[in-house]
Structure 1
């Protein structure tokens, strides 16, 4: 390093921070645009229904129109959610406010479940006390218009979800589809009674209520999982893993964890295998470069843990092959990573971690005993040291000379 040169770059960090703010600002504008169209559509639908209800004297149609007005209000609240969620981190919220979007999705899911329960209760009353549905061309036009409007909103919010990656928009899309199902049930009941004389309004409503309840369950499940902590999107995970692996000097990536604090607020930690001959400064410079690029490409704050790999040892591939053979012979559902060898006077030390491919009833100690036994069959000089990762949670390290002597 030259005199006065520092590892990393504050200018690069500031530029990445400005880029992130620019991306967040662009995303917020997109969210506001989609929400504005949604609010306008709900207001038009609500106004049309209120007018038709006033002309026909139907209180239920007027009530449904005001329901659309409340939908417009909920979308306006979503706009406020996006605004507050985009605010930068502060002392009380060091990881930002992005999870407010997941909270909004939870509230929407709860509302959809409430609609489903209410519809099921009303449908049960109609099954036991059926009432004829009065057919009119005005009502037909109203129902078809409502279905078309809600289908448009479902498409709009799904498009918005794909554009900005928001679970909140996904929830609103599901809510719009639930409204389509409910209105479609009324339309089918109306036609069935008009042309075949079947009074199926209650049964159709009950069937639709289960569709609505399932939609609400899916919304709640997705939102709550995001709040608790769910596995990351597989495509995003693979893209990040590929990015880190693309750097010269990186020989593998494992134990990568993506911590999600809301759209655009992600923190990543990963173990990267580097040549054991690299100096501390060289490995730090490479890790720092990766972190800056991850911030630029994925807007994710990244921490790289460096694992050494003995790439200069010509016998290392043979040791890896023996470990693969031992795993196959053991019949255990495991893979290995973080493999490192050290040839010492007391034996050939093999240090690695095991990841479970599926559930395994054996304890970590029992897994160690089986692997160590198979390794000793291949070469009595092997000294095995391992730990088992269970869903990113590492257990106790087993092996080494102290364990071998017991």
Structure 2
């Protein structure tokens, strides 16, 4: 299952790479026909597509490699680096495009054959939208930042090309050449914003920043499948490296259980979390013994060592489960017990 998913990701990113090379050639041919600065900006940005897709292909290949002695947590973080590399290239390209646009505004140059050039750009829009949508869809399904980033890049390229076509149409209708450079300037600013967003996501991933949506998904899975003998879950940590998911937490179980029974309960807990993830899931659970104060919040029936009656349940939400303390400790203070 995991192997097939990785092969599918590699095929998709390879398709993106080949398509980017062909479409970049079409855009430069359109620039050759028109001498349009806006079309040149679009073509230059497409060079970034080629480089980024090539690096993304390598990163997806590397992230699929098994763990080894030097990389005990796998190679999934390379996808964060790939997205950051792509974002940095986009920002650099946007700066070049903005500078050239300002120069053209100050020193306008004649434009020709806009209709013919627009036809080639329209072809690139259609292809980029189809491939970009597929990459984003598959990237979200497989939790691949490299795949999602490349797909979003192609989609943003399509949007910017649509703006380019509109500017070409306005130039043909009005004859105002300055529109070409203005469109190029807006295109450069749009690219800079998208590049910065990619770099931010990459840095967050490399720094192990919390993915709130992923954390909420894990917490929801725990809460919806909560067992009475799961007395407490705390110190929950969730990290995504490529398509690999890593979860650490502390699980409080009845202190009088034998080791075999505690092991089976932990195995059940791990299987529930793995059911909702398509990639490889690695879970480390530290088992804690329950204490007398847990009785106030424990719903286990017929407990042979219960010392206090059940008082209330505790909300198992993200804010509670990530705390580095047992849930009953904070709840006990509030109840003054």
TM range (shorter): 0.7 to 0.9
**Whole-angstrom distance in 2 between the partners of 1:134 and 1:51:** 13
State which structure, 1 or 2, has the greater radius of gyration over its C-alpha atoms.
1
Aligned to 2:286: 305
1:217 lines up with 2:196 in the alignment: yes
Aligned to 2:326: 338
Native 8 Å contact 1:338 1:353 kept in 2: yes
Aligned to 1:161: 139
Native 8 Å contact 2:248 2:284 kept in 1: yes
CA separation of 1:133 and 1:66: change in aligned 2, threshold 3 A = closer
Q: Which stretch of structure 1 is more off in the superposition, 280-289 or 150-159?
A: 280-289
CA separation of 1:259 and 1:156: change in aligned 2, threshold 3 A = closer
1:151 lines up with 2:129 in the alignment: yes
Native 8 Å contact 1:45 1:146 kept in 2: yes
**Whole-angstrom distance in 1 between the partners of 2:327 and 2:118:** 69
Aligned to 1:263: 242
How far apart are residue 200 of structure 1 and its match? 1.9
Deviations 1:84-107 (A, max 9, x none): 111111111111111111111110
Aligned residue runs from structure 1 range 97-108, under 5 A = 97-108=75-86
Secondary structure of 1:170's counterpart equals helix
Aligned residue runs from structure 1 range 188-267, under 5 A = 188-198=166-176, 199-232=178-211, 233-242=214-223, 245-247=225-227, 249-260=229-240, 262-267=241-246
Aligned to 2:116: 138
Aligned to 1:91: 69
- How many residue pairs get aligned? The number is 314
Native 8 Å contact 1:182 1:205 kept in 2: no
How far apart are residue 271 of structure 1 and its match? 2.5
Q: Which stretch of structure 1 is more off in the superposition, 67-76 or 281-290?
A: 67-76
- Which of the pair is proportionally richer in strand? 1
Secondary structure of 2:326's counterpart equals strand
Secondary structure of 1:163's counterpart equals helix
Aligned residue runs from structure 1 range 118-137, under 5 A = 118-137=96-115
Name which structure has the greater RCO, CA cutoff 8 Å, separation 6+: 2
Secondary structure of 1:259's counterpart equals strand
Native 8 Å contact 1:127 1:203 kept in 2: yes
TM-score (normalised: structure 2) = 0.77
- Which of the pair is proportionally richer in helix? 2
Native 8 Å contact 1:113 1:213 kept in 2: yes
Structure 1 unaligned segments of length 5 or more: list them. Answer: 1-22, 325-332, 341-351, 355-367, 376-381, 383-406
Aligned to 1:290: 269
**Whole-angstrom distance in 2 between the partners of 1:193 and 1:297:** 52
Within the candidate set 18, 22, 41, 1:40 is matched to: 18
CA separation of 1:201 and 1:63: change in aligned 2, threshold 3 A = closer
CA separation of 1:192 and 1:238: change in aligned 2, threshold 3 A = same
TM-score (normalised: structure 1) = 0.66
The RMSD of aligned alpha carbons is 3.6
